Structure 1
Amino acid sequence: MTSFAPDSIVLTRKLPLWYQVSQSLRASILGRSPRDPLRLPTEEQLAGHYGVSVLTMRQALKELEAEGLITRHRRRGTFIEPTAQRGAPVRLLGSVDAIVAQQSGMATQLLAHGRAAVPAEVAEHFPDLAEVATYHRLRSDEETGEPTNHARNYVRPELADRIDPDDLVRWPMTKVLRDVVGADISRITDTVEARLADPETARLLRVPLLSPILHYTGVTYDAAGRVLDAAVIHYRGDRFSFTVTLDAT
């Protein structure tokens, strides 16, 4: 039987090893694809994967078992609970102008761009595509230079053909799509979740590994309901909050 393959982690001395391992494995379990196997590798295999002792691995697994995320069976192995999934996030709708304003006002560095196979985390938004254009940017405070968030955009290839990468240094993707490319943007759906900083996010945002961050997903639709762009942004948890104002009418 094939076993579930958890993500890797760079361990730090600032937190107990069992805690770091349990949180990393927890994130892997909650972020898994429905197609992933439920069986976990053995304690020895997991300990080798994370570079910790079997005793430390056992303590990490005990924590996840107490949460109800895994079940351990003698002689059969350890299995992910099929019902283990992220809590339903709050989804927020707002005006396109509000989204553009929220994304503006920061110094931006384009880290990379190109074409790639549709990643699993946004595959549901691009069922008709095998490949998307990708853009990875780092935004920083204009006055202090402190990194505030890093963003990945996944864009339909036919729209990306009309995008000048230099424009993404000056303006948010939403503005480029609407005002430069001329895309017919009908609505944007925002999803905000609390997450823990993975190694890449910790390095780019200069925060401790596994520190709290805001994980934002913004999906841009045209009038026909087709997804034009899926943005995945990681914000520093100590610099941002998300406020929503609802009218009574």
Structure 2
Amino acid sequence: MTSFAPDSIVLNRKLPLWYQVSQSLRASILGRSPQDPLRLPTEEQLAGHYGVSVLTMRQALKELEEEGLITRHRRRGTFIEPDAQRGAPVRLLGSVDAIVAQQSGMVTELLEHGSGPVPAELAGFFPDLEQAATYHRLRCDEKTGEPTNHARNWVRPELADRIDAEDLTRWPMTKVLRDVVGVDISRITDTVEARLADPETSRLLQVPLLSPILHYTGVTYDQRGRVLDVVVIHYRGDRFSFTVTLDAH
């Protein structure tokens, strides 16, 4: 037996058990480090871990095998495919230009824009505002047309008055604020979390419900330390990874 230990999950009895187990295992496989072993525990051990039958576990593993994430060998066991890696990395290199460059090769559709209350979980970034301008965009791969992420921005209303919505189909909000609106950006704080796709994200990104996604929150500040924009982006978990480069000098 290897030291591979997928996270425990609370199973929802309204969804197929094999599907939920396969998505949990999938997230663990895609989120593993290169040093982790490739061999998985036995079907019986995995079934015990998740509290499901061996038959359910086999169905979950079959799904991952068909996706190319694992291979199963009689008497030898089940192994993670070494090339089962996420696709194009999103690199946070510490510059505004890097963030702008990241969106190259993407086709962007502006789904909606307007104004609305700041969500409770983001209210701390805008202590002086009750309403903010909102923008919701969907980005797709330029070559394949495949959805890659969808983003929601909350922007200070006085800045939104100077934003042409059409510009947001060509450039990231960061570039629009800096180069079109003329804001002097001081810094951007990035937070990345692993989550499961909710119904809206599942529909927009064309991924199964509860499949792993990357939940990114970016907060843009001006020179006075005031928050100008908060963006929440949901990335397909099977297409992106995040690499952060820190300069030690």
Could you say which TM-score interval applies, normalised by the shorter chain?
Answer: 0.5 to 0.7
Give CA-to-partner distance per residue, 1:20-62, whole Å, 9 cap, x none.
Answer: 9xx9xxxxxxxxxxxxxxxxxxxxxxxxxxxxxxxxxxx9xxx
| Partner of residue 54, structure 2 | none
Query: Does the 8 Å contact 1:118/1:131 carry over to 2?
Result: yes
Question: Aligned Cα RMSD in Å?
Answer: 2.3
Q: TM-score, normalised by structure 2?
A: 0.64
**2:127 is matched with which residue?**
127
Could you list the runs of 5+ residues in structure 2 that have no partner in the other structure?
Answer: 1-11, 25-50, 52-91
Return structure 1 stretches of 4+ with deviation > 4 angstroms. Answer: 10-14
Q: How do residues 11-50 of structure 1 correspond to structure 2 at under 5 angstroms? A: 13-15=15-17
The residue that corresponds to 2:227 in the other structure is: 227
**1:105 Cα offset (Å):** 2.7
Q: Paired residue for 1:179?
A: 179
* Alignment-derived partner of residue 156 in structure 1: 156
After superposition, where does 1:192-203 map in structure 2 within 5 Å?
A: 192-203=192-203
Q: Could you state the TM-score of these two structures normalised by the residue count of structure 1? A: 0.64
| Alpha-carbon distance between aligned partners in 2 of 1:15 and 1:160, rounded to the nearest angstrom | 46
2:134 match: secondary structure = strand
Q: How does 1:108-123 map to 2 (within 5 A)?
A: 108-123=108-123
Aligned equivalents of 1:11 and 1:209: distance in 2? 14
Task: Check whether the contact 1:185–1:223 (CA below 8 A) recurs between aligned residues.
Answer: yes
Displacement, 1:120? 1.3
Q: For residue 140 of structure 1, what is the aligned residue in structure 2?
A: 140
Distance 2:245 2:93 in 1: 11
Give me the whole-angstrom Cα distance separating, in 1, the residues matched to 2:208 and 2:192. 21
Distance in 1 between the 2:15 and 2:173 partners? Answer: 38
Any idea what the Cα deviations from partners look like across 1:177-233, whole Å, max 9, x if unmatched?
A: 000000111100010110100010000000011110000000000000000000000
Structure-1 residue corresponding to 2:34: none
How far 1:121 sits from its partner (Å)? 2.2
Distance 2:248 2:94 in 1: 15
Kept after mapping to 2: 8 A contact 1:136/1:150: yes
Give the fraction of aligned pairs with identical amino acids, expressed as a percent: 78
Say which SS state the counterpart of residue 166 (structure 1) adopts. Answer: helix
SS at match of 2:177: helix
Counterpart position of 2:47: none
- 1:40-88 Cα shifts (integer Å, max 9, x gaps): xxxxxxxxxxxxxxxxxxx9xxxxxxxxxxxxxxxxxxxxxxxxxxxxx
Aligned to 2:206: 206
Which structure has the higher relative contact order (CA within 8 Å, separation 6+)?
2
| Structure 1 unaligned regions, length at least 5 | 1-9, 24-58, 60-91
C-alpha distance after superposition, 1:94-140 (max 9, x if no partner) = 11111111233300000000000111121110000010000000000
